[in-house]
Amino acid sequence: MPTRGSSHRDTPERHVPSPLSVSFRFYAQLNDFLPIEARGTLIERAYLVAPSVKDAIEALGIPHVEVALVLVGGRPATFEQRLASGDRVVVYPVFTSLELGALGCLSPPALCAPRFVADVHLRKLSRLLRLLGFDVLHAPTYSNQELVAISIHEERILLTRDRMRLKCGRLTRGYWVRSVIPRVQAAEILRRFDLTGRVSPYTRCPRCNGVLRRVDKRDVIARIPPKTAAWLDDYVECVSCRRLYWQGTHTRRIHATLEEILRLAGG
Ligand SMILES: [Zn+2]
């Protein structure tokens, strides 16, 4: 019969790992994802199990698709790299005007003509971006999985106000829209993706994203109100939904909105 004392000696000692201490510093717009008190400061975190760079960054609230470059101890790191105690992690966002390729950029190369897929809550933003001439898929029926699949397979940038949507590991192109005001959102997108030089108003259908093409007035005369047909000769039609558009009194308001977006984007 083992004595009480020998039983105690036979029990293996429970090993308590010492925590790994890692510090983080986030730059520029990545601070938008942090609580106010943590912005622009050194953030210290302790872990019992070494996390990957991606998991550690996302646990702090920053979607990986917003990150262009991570330095660990001054050296470029991958998202999969495991952190070690004492590591200093410096994280940079995607800049439009800075070439990070030589440093080990983690975000995919910028698209020549960026295309977008917007989540269900960004209907007004989608329409404004289409009015500015950009290719934006949007449907109220898209599930989260569909949004991610479209983004990956069609190389479209996923636009969302829900940062959790951007944490899907397979996603490589995404942007968390900061503002809640559609005009300001559109200006934000123009600035973030450096698109002001690519604006091409009235070339895309705001309703369905189809391309607009000029049509001969005689071919569509039956669909034009007689009072309009009497004074206007220029008409465009959506190649997808066949909706007809022309310059009228209502387009002054749209024009003013687009002017405001461009002004906001430039400011
Ligand atoms: Zn259309």
How much of the chain, in percent, has pLDDT values that exceed 90? Answer: 68
As a dihedral over the C-alpha atoms of residue 99, residue 100, residue 103, residue 105, rounded to 10 degrees, the angle is -140
Instruction: Report residue 52 as tokens.
Output: 């990957």
**Residue 98 reports pLDDT greater than 60:** no
User: How far, in Å, is the centroid of ligand 1 from the Cα of 245?
Assistant: 10
User: How far, in Å, is the centroid of ligand 1 from the Cα of 132?
Assistant: 14
Which pLDDT score is estimated for 12?
52
User: How far, in Å, is the centroid of ligand 1 from the Cα of 204?
Assistant: 8
pLDDT digits 0-9 by tens, 21-71:
999 999 988 999 999 999 889 999 999 999 999 999 999 999 999 998 999
DSSP state at residue 190: H
DSSP state at residue 195: -
Three-state DSSP class for 23? strand
**Residue 13 reports pLDDT greater than 70:** no
User: How far, in Å, is the centroid of ligand 1 from the Cα of 237?
Assistant: 8
User: How far, in Å, is the centroid of ligand 1 from the Cα of 211?
Assistant: 7
User: How far, in Å, is the centroid of ligand 1 from the Cα of 205?
Assistant: 5
User: How far, in Å, is the centroid of ligand 1 from the Cα of 120?
Assistant: 18
pTM: 0.76
pLDDT digits 0-9 by tens, 118-176:
999 999 999 999 999 999 999 989 999 999 999 999 999 999 999 988 988 789 899 99
DSSP state at residue 18: P
Let me know: does 70 contact 57? Beta carbons within 8 Å: yes
Instruction: Report residue 226 as tokens.
Output: 């007689």
